[in-house]
A = this chain, B = another copy of it.
């Protein structure tokens, strides 16, 4: 499992000539880093007298951000696995017509799965951005830069996962699935860009007052 490897080993594996872990796994890791920073800001706020009135809200945020962190961490490996399955499908024999048909079906199914994994990353990013929005507004002002980095990581994770959804969609012949998913990708990207902009304007306000 990637998450049991050291940072150095993971970076080494990304940099290597093996195509997985690649951009999809990195996007999931960026999501995990974003969620972890939101958790940290909660942890640096909870229990402080000055922030007693948001204690209840941030406890809920922390619970959800920790759950998202676990989900993103799992998705680092799920993306690598999904990619490897696409490669395995392409490696199937294609000497006879029945073999060709079987191979085409296997490639299609594996590619669909490889599309759905980064799409899940994108959806989790929207949920995590909503939590980042809460901690930017309500969390410890001394940690406002961390809350800002959280949002930046989540937005980059979403945009990165979007590229992975789209490169896989372009390999699929299934037009209905492709059309529907492309709309979803664009709508999630717009939502994320809007959320990031709102978060950044709160961060700017607070940075001026730190």
* B207:A19 contact, CB within 8 angstroms: no
Contact present for A22 and B143 (CB under 8 Å) = yes
Task: Tell me whether A23 and B11 are in contact in the complex, defined as CB-CB below 8 angstroms, given that A4-B6, A210-B167 are known contacts.
Answer: no
Contact with B along A132-160 (1 / 0, CB 8 A): 00000000000111101110110110011
Q: How far is the CA of A159 from the CA of B200 in the complex (A)?
A: 11
| Contact between B153 and A167, CB atoms less than 8 A apart | no
Give the residue among A29, A144, A152, A166 with the most B Cβ atoms within 10 A.
A152
Contacts of A65 in B (CB 8 A): 15
- Say whether A4 contacts B8, CB under 8 Å: yes
Do A7 and B5 touch across chains, with their CB atoms under 8 A apart? yes
Contact sample, A vs B, 25 pairs, CB 8 Å cutoff: A3-B6, A4-B7, A5-B7, A6-B6, A7-B7, A7-B10, A11-B33, A11-B36, A15-B35, A15-B43, A16-B43, A19-B40, A22-B37, A22-B40, A22-B146, A23-B145, A26-B33, A26-B149, A145-B167, A148-B160, A152-B159, A153-B160, A163-B203, A163-B207, A170-B207
Query: Apart from A3-B8, A15-B40, A22-B37, what 14 extra A-B contacts exist at CB < 8 Å?
Result: A3-B7, A5-B7, A6-B7, A7-B29, A7-B76, A16-B40, A26-B33, A29-B33, A30-B153, A145-B164, A152-B160, A155-B156, A163-B203, A163-B207
